Structure 1
Amino acid sequence: MDKAYETHYHDLERSHFWFKARRNYILQLLKDVPKTANILDIGCSSGLLLTDLKNQGFNPNNLYGIDISKKAIANCKQNGLQNCAVMSADTIKLDLKFDVLIASDCLEHLQNDEKAVRNWRHLLKADGKLYIFVPAFQALWSQHDVINMHYRRYTEKQLLNLVTNNGFEQLKSGYWNALLFIPIYIARKLGKLKATKNETSKSNSSGDLETLPSLNPIFLGLLNFENRILKYVRFPFGVSTYCILAKAEKDSTR
């Protein structure tokens, strides 16, 4: 990842509506997990989700994170998270087994996603759970994906095929960020059209991660509302797709 963009990314992840709302939804999904659980955040960035978990009463000694970025792990240490290390998400080597693995917007960065999923399976306890979030729909592919060094976007079906073919059983799945899907889809299509017509002299170097001081609280409120109604509503589309998984009784990896 470009160093200037990485700095911009870390500056925004604390306050940007998209990051905050996604962390809120993950916390909502984890509300029944015991506070003593061993949790690994794969692609933990600056450790803000781990900090949220610590603030909600989870034992900080049982909270772990890995990230490929040295800067991200340095930020984790500055944020008081000591169980974090620089490591590639597809070849994690730890002596621990975990109750919970969280891979939030990580899998799309890995060239061999099957290898990663198989690696993650071996890190889980027999009754452990894996929570995955990834960008959805190749139709939303844009300069944002290029800057973030994504290999792909997924449909819910594609994500579930990947994980169930590699040793997991589906507990829950769906789409997230459905309420902003249409405006984001239109914005990205217009961005491609402008680029095709050479109306811009250079690509957007920050992707979709712009500071939106006036709109940020509005969008945050909208996505927090969506988080609440996802208990009762299942959307057929979204900017992200996710699943919660358990280890299959028999290893179905190929």
Structure 2
Amino acid sequence: MDLTEFDRLFDKKNYKRHPWEISRKKVLFKLLSASEIKFPIKRIVDIGGGDAYIINEIFKHKLADEYFTIDTAYSPEIIAQLKVNYGENSIHYVQNLTDYFNTFPTKENVLFLCMDVLEHLENEDEILQHLTRKNNYFLFAVPAFQTVFSQHDLLLGHYRRYNLKQLEKLLTKNQFQISDKGYYFSSLLLVRWIESIFNKNKKASIDNWTGTTFKSKLLVVILQLDFAFTRVIQKFGIKIYGLSCYCICKK
């Protein structure tokens, strides 16, 4: 999760969700629909769930029988506010992976989502060492390319950015079997590169989007076209870099 996500929990009425978040959600659904995973699956667990936007969107689409979101920031006060914001439903809010595995064991297949989380950890093993059980599925996504690391990353609490080879190496070292991989949001990579040079003190984040509704919808459309184009090109073996990279895996 990004540290700024919790700034908006208590101001839902006036909050505008960033088009990047909406677009990332759409990318997630497209990646899952194209994967080998059969839905509905028994359980989906969103690691680093932040303000629980993703898991609540997944809940609406009925992709699983059980839903969990895990974040170290989930205090009783935060959980209570999340339930106010999204309504009472069957989503479980858990503070850490140890509590999750101890309290909610299962032998059924589980899909773990770990999107934009590993970069927040000084050592990725804090999460990866827990994900050892066989016959589970995993989707990892991280921000790409250390060359565009900037004040924006520091604002969000990032230790690093990755390229796809680095992400693959990290996952294969931990016995994950990668079935799909790639980059997305290619159009944003150039924008971020320019910002990293000329706008080193950027304060904008996903929690303070002030764009109009029209601008938000336009950016979402552009990013979805960007993703669709990248997927088509990749099918022909042509690699196009993007601001984020992902791996879908199994153990």
- TM-score (norm. length: structure 2): 0.80
Would you say the 8 A contact 2:6–2:51 is kept in 1? no
Would you say the 8 A contact 2:119–2:158 is kept in 1? yes
Q: 5+ unaligned residues in a row in structure 1: which ranges?
A: 196-202, 248-254
Q: What is the rounded CA distance, in whole Å, between the counterparts of 1:58 and 1:111 in structure 2?
A: 32
Matched, 1:211 2:223: no
Match in the other structure for 1:153: 161
Match in the other structure for 2:48: 43
Moved more, 79-88 or 235-244: 79-88
* C-alpha displacement of 1:183: 1.6
AA paired with 1:113? E
AA paired with 1:133? A
Deviations 1:97-122 (A, max 9, x none): 54211011111111210342121233
Match in the other structure for 2:30: 28
Alignment of 1:59-98 (within 5 A): 59=64, 61-70=65-74, 73-78=79-84, 79=86, 80-88=88-96, 93-94=101-102, 95-97=105-107, 98=109
Match in the other structure for 1:7: 7
Match in the other structure for 1:250: none
Matched, 1:169 2:161: no
Would you say the 8 A contact 2:189–2:243 is kept in 1? yes
AA paired with 1:164? T
Would you say the 8 A contact 1:114–1:162 is kept in 2? no
Deviations 1:49-91 (A, max 9, x none): 22222222234x5111111113654444232344433424588
AA paired with 1:84? H
Moved more, 170-179 or 72-81: 72-81
* C-alpha displacement of 1:140: 1.4
Counterpart of 1:238 (choices 212, 237, 242) is 242
Change (3 A) 1:130 1:75: farther
* C-alpha displacement of 1:150: 1.1
Q: 5+ unaligned residues in a row in structure 2: which ranges?
A: none
CA RMSD, 1 decimal: 3.0
Would you say the 8 A contact 2:116–2:143 is kept in 1? yes
